[in-house]
Amino acid sequence: MLEVRGLDLFYGDARALDDVSLVVPEGAVVAIVGANGAGKTSLIRAIAGMLKPRAGSIKFRGAEIAGLPSHRVCDLGVGQVAEGRQIFPNLSVSDNLDVGAMLPRARAAAHANKAKVYEMFPRLSERAKQFAGTLSGGEQQMLAIGRCLMARPDLIMFDEPSLGLSPALARDVFDIVRRLNESGVAILLVEQNVAASLSLASHAYVLENGRVVLEGSGDELLRNDAVRRAYLGL
């Protein structure tokens, strides 16, 4: 579904991504793990069209999307739940969701989608009229996910969805990711919680200094000594 080949990305002269290639098959959960500064967020932002890669190709469903502006990429069905939740604090929960449904692909079904999101996250429906800034951290993450779902993406890229959440809430978030995947959405998951994301992922890549240094199935990587030492502290 998503195919990244030889992606190079620079911030000025600083290389952020170096010849990165990865594949997200239809309906899969693919994880990217790596330390801070390894280039995980840069990779997501490059795929989303928010950063322009210097070289390489990004294909979504066979069509080249590298260099497309982000609103076009979104409209093709690539959603993202950005790091740090990034909700709109002074808009109501309901308006936050509405902003997520204004792409051409989502407009017609906005009403039905909203009902679905409320069904999935009843807390959001209870708080529909509240300013989003008044929600708890966990609720804000639900809102960020719900808002992304409003555009009916076929692929969702999660950037650190459990960041700053309690272990119990983090479990909830991973549970949501799993449920979304079971409903047919492909997932690209960037997480600092390596154990949880690897056990969820069918395939995973280890990113170091902007390069893919290791890849394999989630289970393989979980058993890999280098991964265990570096990311799981074992």
Partner 1 sequence: MIETMLAGAPRRALVALALLLSALVAAPLFVNAYALSVLILALYYAYTGQAWNMMIGFAGLLSLGEAMFVGLGAYASAGLFQKFGVPPVLGLFLSVAVSAAAGAAVGWLAFRFDINGVYFALLTIAFSEFTRILVDNWAYLGGSEGLFLHVSGLAGWDIVNLRGSPVMFYYVLLAMTSGMFLLCRYLLASRLGYYWRAIREDQDAARSLGVDVFACKMAAVTISSGAAGLAGVVYAFYYNNLFPETAFALSHSIDMLLGAVVGGVGTLFGPIFGALLLTPLGEALTAATDGLRLPGVKQFFWGVVVAAIVLARPTGLWPMIAGALGLDKVGLDKVDADEKSGR
Contact with partner 1 (CB under 8 A) among 12, 36, 63, 129: 129
Asked if 102 interacts with partner 1 (CB under 8 A), we say: yes
Binding characters for partner 1, 4-23, by CB under 8 A (x = yes) = --------------------
Asked if 95 interacts with partner 1 (CB under 8 A), we say: yes
Stretch that binds partner 1, among 13-21, 52-60, 86-94, 173-181 (CB under 8 A): 86-94
Asked if 80 interacts with partner 1 (CB under 8 A), we say: yes
Phi (first) and psi of residue 90, to 5 degrees = -95, 15
Contact with partner 1 (CB under 8 A) among 1, 148, 156, 187: 148
Stretch that binds partner 1, among 16-24, 94-102, 181-189, 208-216 (CB under 8 A): 94-102
Contact with partner 1 (CB under 8 A) among 67, 89, 122, 167: 89
Do 36 and 184 form a contact (C-beta atoms < 8 A)?
Answer: no
Could you tell me the two tokens for 149?
């779902």
Stretch that binds partner 1, among 9-17, 31-39, 67-75, 223-231 (CB under 8 A): 67-75
Asked if 125 interacts with partner 1 (CB under 8 A), we say: no
C-alpha distances in Å from residue 96, one per residue of 24, 78, 150, 161, 169: 28, 18, 10, 18, 21
End-to-end C-alpha distance for the chain, whole angstroms: 34
Do 59 and 8 form a contact (C-beta atoms < 8 A)?
Answer: no
Interaction site with partner 1 (CB under 8 A) = 48, 50, 69-71, 73-75, 80, 82, 86-92, 94-95, 98-100, 102-103, 110, 129, 131, 147-148, 151
